[in-house]
Copies of this chain bind each other. A is one copy, B any other.
Amino acid sequence: MKLVAFLVCFMLAFAAVGATIQPREPGWSGSLLVVPMDGSHWTGVKAVAQEMGRRGHKVMVVIPEVSVLLGPGKYYTTRTFPVPYGKQQLDELQARNAEVMESKQLPLLEKISTRISNMRKFVDLQRATAESLLLNQELVDFLKKQNFDAVLTSPAVPTGAILAYNLSLPAVYMLRGLPCGLDSTATACPSPPSYIPRFFTNNSDRMSFRQRVLNVLVSTVEPLLCRLIYWSMEGVASRFLQRDVSVAEILRSGALWLLRYDFSLEFPKPLMPNMVLIGGINCAIKNPLTKRDVSLTEILSTGAVWLMWYDFNLEFPKPLMPNMQLIGGINCGIRNPLKKEVEEFVEGSGEHGIVVFSLGSLVSSMPKEKAAVFFKAFSMIPQRVLWRYTGEIPDNVPENVKLMKWLPQNDLLGHPKAKAFITHGGTHGIYEGICHGVPMVMIPLFGDQADNVHRMATRGVGVVLSIHDITAETLHDALNSVINDGSYEQRMEKLSAIHNDRPMQPLDLAVYWTEFVMRHKGADHLRPAAHDLNWFQYHSLDVIGFLLFIVLIVTLVTFKCCALCWRRCCRKLQKRKKD
């Protein structure tokens, strides 16, 4: 052992000396413009922005003066711009999101109209934000002068994409997917409706004939839906770029797509070369950043040696890879320590363990009568519950429940005592659950959540409940199943093992490819030629038409010839007969 230590010391001392001779090449650090989207999308984008800054790039994040989550960070600068709305309006919008939890089932028409009105408010807000940025001539001119190498943005609201298009900068998109299959269209990625379920259909990749009919119908309507959804953004884009332009056209110009995809959650489907899969990026976000800063920064700055995470007590030992040594899935094993008070509460749960409960960042509070259902169910289980709860605190909170305004969700799920996770099914939460192998009770509220939870239910690692029909009994039964049944845990362990078994951490992958785009000024060599074809050519319809035409001509000519021959023969025969 001593020999080994000595050898290592010797070699690294040598490496450190080497580092002064061969410093990090000064020319390669670049500058990145980040145009984020508010809400949970910010989590992943911020992580990459931070990490890029930490690695020596100049990173500038452009954010509205008022927002829910957007804000400054240690490793990037921010540039704010004024918007025509206030914090209060944002809060109101968030409060509206809680309406989906109302017990009373509204009549269908009213429900739809409420949804549409909420959606419109959301779209109006996005449009106002986009206009405030893009039509702020002074800001755009300033950004133009910065000579950025690339733009990192969420294309779900395509403000950043439009800006990148206008500044002729290569764009790196970070997303889970776009509504109405716009991501497939804009990447020219084949997406046969025969086995790729469409959003919101609740189909899996194995469909009955009836499900496939629905899937094909939805896929037919998708282009129309896209136009409706991006109608107002296309207006902003057209005004900004001073010509008619579609969002699809703008997104097509993106250099790279960082997709929050992982096939432990998604059904297998075709990919394109410019897609990089970074599903699960949130799982590793906080820890590496804190850890890296503590003691290794100085060594890192010499730029010649990188030390791997080796001093952590791995809960799930992983295969060792030469250049990945102890990295695969290890971030999952690391947790930030919990606050003393929380740690005590968690540890106090004994053998029964804890249940982590959060409905995400977009829902501010829960209606009282709904909350009562949860309290009742929780009073019936032996586990302790940690609940992200922002509303008014009622009197009769059961003893085993701890309400917290903010939940260290990833750290709690990574705690060995975590037995179940009650979640709304947002992608970030789902991935944290998979990463730490905690079975789930899922209560989807809106957006892609219904799809996410359906995928998880298909894999048998969680139970789905409806927020409308939920009762203390159904919730209790669901919790009881996922915690005590054993089969949920077993399947989740398998899924977790597959998900965590990756040659490279998603955050590193995201940063690597963002840097790649900056270094090579785009990624043209990954762009399929399909973009230069119209749909007629793409499906070879012109060629097929041409070939059919040839076949037709040949058939006709052959037929005519035969007919001619036949007639002649007949005539001859008739002549002979006559003769």
Residues of chain A touching chain B, judged by Cβ–Cβ distance below 8 Å, are: 1, 3-5, 7-9, 11-20, 22, 24-25, 28, 55, 189-190, 192-195, 205-206, 209, 212-213, 216-217, 263-264, 267-274, 288, 292, 295, 298-300, 302-308, 310-311, 313-314, 317-327, 497-498, 501, 503-505, 508-509, 511-513, 515-516, 519-520, 525-530, 532-533, 537-540, 542-544, 546-547
Q: A8-B16, A323-B508 are in contact. List 9 more A-B contacts (CB 8 A).
A: A4-B302, A8-B307, A22-B314, A25-B317, A205-B528, A213-B547, A271-B271, A306-B321, A501-B519
The contact of A306 among B268, B274, B308, B313, by CB within 8 Å, is B308
From residue A260, how far is it (CB to closest CB) to chain B in Å?
Answer: 15
B503 and A509 contacting across the interface, CB-CB below 8 Å: yes
Residue in B closest to A532 when the chains form the complex, CB atoms? B206
Across the interface, name the chain B residue whose C-beta is closest to A326: B304
Are A311 and B193 in contact, CB atoms less than 8 angstroms apart? no
Task: Give Cα A317–Cα B303 distance, bound, in whole angstroms.
Answer: 12
Q: Which one of B192, B303, B321, B501 contacts A530 once the chains associate, using CB atoms below 8 Å?
A: B192
Known: A213-B546, A308-B305. A529 touches B195 (CB 8 A): yes
Collect the chain B residues with CB atoms within 8 Å of residue A298's CB: 3-4, 7
Give the residue name and chain of the B residue nearest to A3 (CB): B298
- Chain B residues near A4: list those with CB within 8 A: 16, 298-299, 302
Interface centre among A4, A9, A19, A206 (most CB of B within 10 A): A4
Q: Tell me if B529 and A268 are in contact (CB < 8 A).
A: yes
The 8 closest A-B pairs by CB, nearest first: A306-B325, A190-B190, A205-B529, A9-B9, A5-B13, A25-B317, A268-B528, A15-B310
B304 pairs with A310, CB closer than 8 A: yes
Contacts of A264 in B (CB 8 A): 525
Candidates B18, B194, B299, B318; contact of A537 at CB < 8 Å: B194
Complex: A303 Cα to B525 Cα, angstroms = 38
Contact B24 A13 (CB under 8 A): no
29 A-B pairs whose Cβ atoms sit less than 8 Å apart in the complex = A3-B298, A5-B12, A7-B299, A8-B305, A11-B307, A55-B322, A192-B538, A192-B540, A194-B530, A195-B532, A209-B542, A209-B546, A212-B537, A212-B543, A213-B546, A216-B540, A216-B544, A217-B547, A264-B525, A267-B528, A268-B525, A304-B325, A305-B325, A306-B308, A319-B519, A321-B511, A321-B512, A323-B505, A324-B504
